[in-house]
A and B are shown apart, each in its own frame.
Chain A
Amino acid sequence: MTPASSPQDDGAIAEIISAHAHLEGPLLPMLHALQEEFGVIPEAAHAPLCKALTITRAELKGVISFYHDFREKPAGKHVLKICRAEACQSMGGTALAERLLAKLGLDWHGTTPDGKVTVEPVYCLGLCACAPAAMLDEKLIARADDARVEKALSAKNIGVSA
């Protein structure tokens, strides 16, 4: 059973859909706006999206599940993205990621039990000349090392065990 949505949520969903309805190819902008508002693509938005765009639920599910960015389950309060791409690998990015995951006790895509942080892989942040790179929420960290990332995490009250 999915929890029933509140009337406020339904209002916000309807507002987001109508705000983007005039665009050509409006689905991705709608999904981004919904996730910005709710942190996930709420299931309560599925039926109104399908109705507004005359698409089936299967088509909608297909789109949501295709893109790495869209969530159906909420992430932690903060999201740490660590670049796994080649330029970062050439500067020790793989080992950095492994150490940070171990310290947080997580695997890729995992969330700490206190719900504070989710760690996700990212393939290139465009900081390849100052690798390795990471991003905590929207804050970019170049020449990332344990100290720099841990400092950024502790600024968000996220503890890291040594």
Chain B
Amino acid sequence: MKIYVPMDSAAKALGADEVAAKLTQEIAARGLEAEIVRNGTRGMIWLEPLVEIEKDGERLAYGPISEDDVTALLDGQIDTLGKVEDIPFFARQTRLTFERCGVIDPLSLADYEAHGGLEGLKRAIGMSQDAIIDEVKTSGLRGRGGAGFPTGIKWDTVRLAHAPQKYIVCNADEGDSGTFADRMIMEGDPFTLIEGMTIAGLGCGATKGYVYTRSEYPDAVAVMQQAIEIARAAGVLGPNVLGCGRAFDMEVRVGAGAYVCGEETSLLNSLEGKRGVVRAKPPLPALEGFLGRPTVVNNVISLATVPVIFAKGAEHYANFGLGRSKGTMPIQIAGNVKFGGLFETAFGMPLGTLVNEVAGGTASGRPVKAVQVGGPLGAYLHTDQFDTPFGYEEFDGQKALIGHAGIVVFDDTADMLSMARFAMEFCAVESCGKCTPCRIGAVRGVETLDRIKEGDASAIPLLEDLCEVMTDGSLCALGGFTPYPVLSALRHFPEEFAPNTAQKEAAE
């Protein structure tokens, strides 16, 4: 008998370690022949800690299981949820990038290979650099960090650059509220990221990689570091990748609590040991990146998707999706929802379906008021916009963005003026300080919103004007996109910015 208890940090934050400890104790006391496997999460966070018991070839799910449920669970007194694959939230997904996450032991390379791991890398080893890049281009993969830039074109720029040393940098600085896909894959299937980075290295002629992640993710850091050591010991990483005669190795670097370091040039400065200040572009990081050398900077999910593209073929991947948004997107459903978690699906599902059906509406049971998509720099969408299909261009058409595909649902108690103020406050706290529209604009934005709250209607056009300056004049997306949440809140919920309401609330 095998018992799976996730070691994902969301599961741990809900008591998975205590459940595992109690299980170990009970198994010993009862003299059972059972092995506890600490897997990643299946992504259904409302069911965590989700325990799976594999017996006679069948793997059944139970959850949420608390420490106090363990005795009853082993006594067979707890009803099963059935197979994970049959739970509606899961059955409705198309799992490509996250196919193995939660299924395998994240730190077992044998388990990884038994579930299709390293097939992509083995295929890439037999291909020329040109063919590797063409495969990525054909797949239609676009940057999953938020900008949506075609991954193959970025790789090609690095491949064609002449330099004695090139780098693959994985942007794992997942700071957006409402997102946890990077963390989940690093904790649940770290070898897929290692494999994806190695393929990128072979394709671009880079021999060194860095995963730059967050100090707020101590579990992900630990799992990634262990996985890299295991991969190195097995010859997946090192001077002779799987015996192909070419080298690739990598290490993990940890940031120090600066949101702006998720911006690629700021990340590179931080990696070099400097202040995480944004660099002006050009030069592109692809030509002058880490230490001034050609560097691919890709998001975790972009790189973790590369192995499946090579294992199953670019066409297979490109067959999913909508228009220019090809493949699947791991959508992270968060905030005030009944069923929160990771939902990987082909692009194109309408936002309303995601919120009302997949997420099951709000946890509070109150009506949905607004949905923020794409992190703290993403727009607040109104329920009137729920027909919008989930895709890069489709959201752009709504003056919104999908970003790293986190969706945060708010019920009708949300105060949209406060949310707009928070967006400006966050920008002021996290601004790197290099450009004036962001550094000063965010502070003025907080003050202007305070004036609106006090009933000064003349401050509304001032706020719009300020947002225009920030959008057009900021060096990076922090200052440039902060107007998305601010203006969308103003546009869709004007009554909350109107002098009479604002005054009334201020007087209360």
Contact = CB atoms under 8 A, between A and B. Distances in A.
B332 A129 contact: yes
Nearest to A63: B275
Given A62-B275, A141-B13, A28 B254 contact: yes
Contact of A86 (B14, B178, B256): B178
Contacts of A142: 10, 13-14
B408 A66 contact: no
Interface in A63-99: 63, 66-70, 85-91
A83 to B, nearest CB: 8
Top 8 nearest A-B pairs (CB, nearest first) are: A27-B273, A129-B340, A85-B177, A128-B334, A67-B256, A142-B13, A68-B257, A140-B13
Interface string B269-295: 011111111000000000000110000
A53 B276 CA distance: 18
B335 A131 contact: yes
A159 interface: no
B336 A25 contact: no
13 contacts: A29-B253, A63-B275, A67-B255, A86-B422, A87-B334, A88-B177, A90-B414, A123-B376, A123-B430, A124-B179, A128-B334, A142-B14, A143-B14
A19 interface: no
Given A128-B335, A130-B48, A69 B256 contact: yes
A40 interface: no
A115 interface: no
B176 interface: yes
Contacts of A133: 13
Identify whether the interface residues of B are mostly helix, strand, loop, or mixed.
mixed
B335 A63 contact: no
Contacts of B257: 67-69, 122
Interface size grouping (class) on chain A: 35 or more
Interface in A104-162: 122-131, 133, 135, 138, 140-143
Given A86-B408, A126-B10, A129-B180, A66 B258 contact: yes
Contact of B179 (A63, A122, A126): A126
A127 B10 contact: yes
A31 interface: yes
B328 interface: no
B9 interface: yes
